Structure 1
Amino acid sequence: MDRLIYTAMTGAKHILEQQATTSHNLANATTTGFRAQIDSFRAVPVISEGLPTRAFVVDATVGTDFSSGSLQNTGRELDVAIQGKGWLTVQAEDGTEKMTRHGSLKISENGVLQTHNGLIVMGDTGPITIPPEVTIAIAKDGTVSSVPMGTKPNAVQVIGRLKLVNPPEANLVRDADGLFKTKDGVPPVADANVAVAGGMLEGSNVNVVESMVTMINLARQFEMQMKLLTNAESNATKASQILALS
């Protein structure tokens, strides 16, 4: 009887966790560059002094859906979207290099190129500093160029190049701040094959309809686990009654 209780109890617990993950994905359905989180579960035997007759459910993998989102035209000169595979490199608050697909950039008061939430955008040789009173253009290969305001368009000056990387997806993990980093902690090197589209942003890759269907299925699975616990309680009560009669 307790084997059924172990399985149903831990199954219900992790269904609630998966429901929370699905809700988190839905909440970020409109977040630029967001990558949906994926959970999978497996049964693990309970190791004790006796025989392994009991099992419980554990969250086997917390993965990420790395498929690309749709590109949205903004026309803003500091908006960039990664085309296909690849990442923008930023300097996190702890000083380490991390990766993001959110290409809504801005210029700080000191002229440093930053993300929308104030993280420094890394170039091939370090942070990129934008001179004052210039118009910015970002090429397909990530090259950042400037044209002084009021001059001819041919007076172009190359400021730097965005550090675009494309490490193996198996070596990527989502950090607590929502940015991605390498599992081995080694900053990835720049990849010349990564391309960006200027004046565009990449939308979230969350499928809203699929996520809603998943939430409904998870709710039904949770109800099934609760019914199993109810059946276990009923069986235990009847077994106690039979033993009392005997």
Structure 2
Amino acid sequence: MDALIYTALTGAELALRGQQVHANNLANIDTAGFRATMALATTQAMPGYGYDDRHGAKMQADAINSKAGTLKSTGRDLDVAIGGNGYFAVQTAGGGEAYTRAGSITLDADGTMTVNGLPILGGGGPIRLPAHSRVEFGMDGTISIQPPGGQNMTVVDKLKLVNAEGSELTKNASGLLVARNGQPLQADPNVQVRSGFLEGSNVSAVEEMVAVMSLNRTFDVQMKMFQASDKMAEAGNRLVGG
């Protein structure tokens, strides 16, 4: 009977945490470049002598859905999107490196290129543009500017573009993608960008709602298992008490 309680308890907790994951996905359905999170779980044996037949469900580190979102044309010079697989590299507030598909770039007062307030990285660190009248992005991530009063475009830097499987990435506390091994990813020359486009979220509202309804039914099942375990315990007590 108590073995059943372990299964029901951890199953109910797993369903609750899964609902939180899908709720967060739905909340970011309109967030540019957002990557949906997938909740993963595995069985876990309970530690301790005499608990060999007791198993529970354990939430693993969440995986990232790497499916591409829809590209939308904006015509803005500083909007860029990844064409296919890959990610932009940005510098976190703590000085580390993280990754994103968001490509709505803005310029700080000193010309530093940022995405959502974080410096976007190039070959030598955060990219800072000198005075210019126009900016262009090449498909390989090269950044060219036209100096004020000039006619020719001059290459000044190149975006750091990386690639990784969804299983190799996880999200940090800020919701940014980072490598599971904690090491910076190497630049991938095969990643390409499209200038004047932004990528939308890859969250599917239908899929997320179906997943939430399925988790609600799973939670109900776990509660019924608790009730069944309680009735079994009462029956056992009556038998023992004569």
TM range (shorter): over 0.9
Count of aligned positions: 242
Deviation at 1:123, TM superposition (A): 1.0
2:63–2:169 CA contact under 8 A, matched in 1: no
Structure 2 unaligned spans of 5+: none
Give the residue type in structure 2 aligned to 1:178. Answer: G
Q: CA deviation at 1:237?
A: 1.7
Match of 1:137 in 2: 136
* Rounded Cα–Cα distance in structure 2 between residues aligned with 1:42 and 1:137: 47
Secondary structure at 2:90's aligned position in 1? strand
Residue 192 of structure 1: aligned partner: 189
Provide, for residues 121-158 of structure 1, a one-character-per-residue CA deviation record: whole Å limited to 9, x for no partner. Answer: 1111232222235111112111111124565xx42122
Deviates more, 1:97-106 or 1:142-151: 142-151
Residue matched to 1:204: 201
Shift of residue 42, structure 1, vs aligned partner: 2.3
Normalized against structure 2, the TM-score is what?
0.93
**Equivalence for 1:14:** 14
When the two structures are superposed, what TM-score results if normalisation uses the length of structure 1?
0.92
After TM superposition, the structure 1 stretch with the greater mean CA deviation from structure 2, 140-149 or 88-97, is 140-149
Alignment match of 1:227 (pick from 224, 230, 235): 224
C-alpha distance in 2 between matches for 1:103 and 1:166: 15
Query: In percent, how many aligned pairs have the same letter?
Result: 38
1:60 alignment counterpart: 60
- What is the CA-CA distance between 1:60 and the residue it aligns to? 3.2
The one-letter code matched in structure 1 to 2:209 is M
**Equivalent residue of 2:69, what SS?**
coil
Contact 1:74 1:200 in 2 (8 A): yes
1:24-70 Cα shifts (integer Å, max 9, x gaps): 11111111111111112222222322251211111134211111111
What amino acid is aligned across from residue 216 of structure 1 in structure 2? Answer: M
Q: What is the CA–CA distance in structure 1 between the aligned matches of 2:193 and 2:158, rounded to whole Å? A: 11
Partners of 1:158 and 1:95 in 2: how far apart?
26
CA–CA distance in structure 1, aligned partners of residues 130 and 44 of structure 2: 59
The answer to whether the 8 Å contact 1:79/1:105 transfers is yes
Given that 2:64 and 2:167 are in contact with CA atoms closer than 8 Å, whether structure 1 keeps it comes out as no
Structure-2 separation of matches of 1:92 and 1:42: 31
Distance 1:167 1:55, change over 3 A: closer
1:47-196 paired onto structure 2 within 5 Å? 47-115=47-115, 117-148=116-147, 154-196=151-193
Q: In structure 1, list runs of 5 or more residues that go unmatched.
A: none
**Aligned CA distance change for structure 1 residues 237 and 170 (closer, same or farther; 3 Å):** closer
CA contact (8 A) 1:112 1:129 kept: yes
Query: 1:84-106, CA deviations, whole angstroms, 9 ceiling, x for partnerless residues?
Result: 11111111111122211111100
| Equivalent in the alignment of 2:240 | 243
Within 1, Cα distance between the matches of 2:200 and 2:113?
Answer: 21
Given that residues 128 and 159 in structure 1 are in contact (C-alpha distance below 8 angstroms), is that contact kept between their aligned partners in structure 2? no
Q: Over aligned residue pairs, what C-alpha RMSD do you find? A: 1.7
Confirm or deny: 8 A CA contact 2:82 2:192 kept in the other structure: yes
Once residues 223 and 21 of structure 1 are traced to their aligned partners in structure 2, the CA distance between those partners, rounded to angstroms, is 18
Distance 1:157 1:66, change over 3 A: same
CA distance in 2, matches of 1:39, 1:3: 25
Q: Residue 180 of structure 1: CA displacement? A: 1.8
Q: Distance in 1 between matches of 2:135 and 2:15?
A: 48
Preserved CA contact (<8 Å) 1:145 1:157: yes
Return the letter of the residue paired with 2:68: S
CA separation of 1:141 and 1:51: change in aligned 2, threshold 3 A: closer
